[in-house]
Amino acid sequence: MPKRVLLVNKFYYPRGGDCVVVLNTEALLRENGVEAQVFAMEYPQNLPAAYQDRFASRVIFNGSKGDQWRAVKRMLGCGDIRERFEAVLDDFKPDVVHLHNVHSYLSPVVGELAHKRGIRVVWTLHDYKLLCPRYDCLLGGKPCEKCFGGAKYNVLTHKCMKDSLPASVVAWLEALKWSRERLEKNTDAFICPSDFMARKMVGAGFDAGKVKVLNNFLDPVKLKQYREMASTQREDYYCFVGRLSPEKGIENLLEVASRLPYKLKVAGSGTLEPAMRVKYADCGNIEFLGMLDAVDVARLLAGARMSIAPSQWYENNPLSVVESLCAGTPVAGSNMGGIPELIDSSNGIVFQPYDQETLSTAITMSMARQWNHDEIAARALERFSPSTHMKTLMSEFYAFG
Q: Are 26 and 124 in contact (CB under 8 A)?
A: no
User: For the CA atoms of 162, 164, 166, 172, what is the dihedral angle to 10 degrees?
Assistant: 60
Specify the pLDDT at position 325.
97
Specify the pLDDT at position 115.
98
Beta-carbon contacts of 304 under 8 Å, excluding residues fewer than 6 positions away, are 234, 235, 237, 238, 239, 265, 324, 327, 329
Predicted confidence (pLDDT) per residue in 282-312, tens digit: 999 999 999 999 899 999 999 999 999 999 9
Amino acid, single-letter form, for residue 387: S
Q: Which domains does the chain have, with CATH numbers?
A: 4-124+179-217+385-397 (3.40.50.2000), 220-383 (3.40.50.2000)
- Give this prediction's pTM: 0.93
Question: Euclidean distance between the first and final Cα of the chain, in Å?
Answer: 14
- Please give the biggest Cα pair distance in the chain: 64
Q: How confident is the model at residue 2 (pLDDT cuts 50, 70, 90)?
A: low
Is it the case that residue 151 has pLDDT exceeding 90? no
**Under DSSP, is residue 24 helix (H, G, I), strand (E, B) or coil?**
helix
Q: Are 219 and 27 in contact (CB under 8 A)?
A: yes
**Under DSSP, is residue 351 helix (H, G, I), strand (E, B) or coil?**
strand
Predicted confidence (pLDDT) per residue in 12-62, tens digit: 999 988 998 999 999 999 999 999 999 999 999 999 999 999 999 999 998
Amino acid, single-letter form, for residue 244: L
42: exposed, middle or buried (C-beta count within 10 Å: 0-12, 13-18, 19+)?
middle
The dihedrals phi and psi of 238, each to the nearest 5 degrees, come to -125, 165
Dist. CA 348–CA 390, nearest whole Å:
27
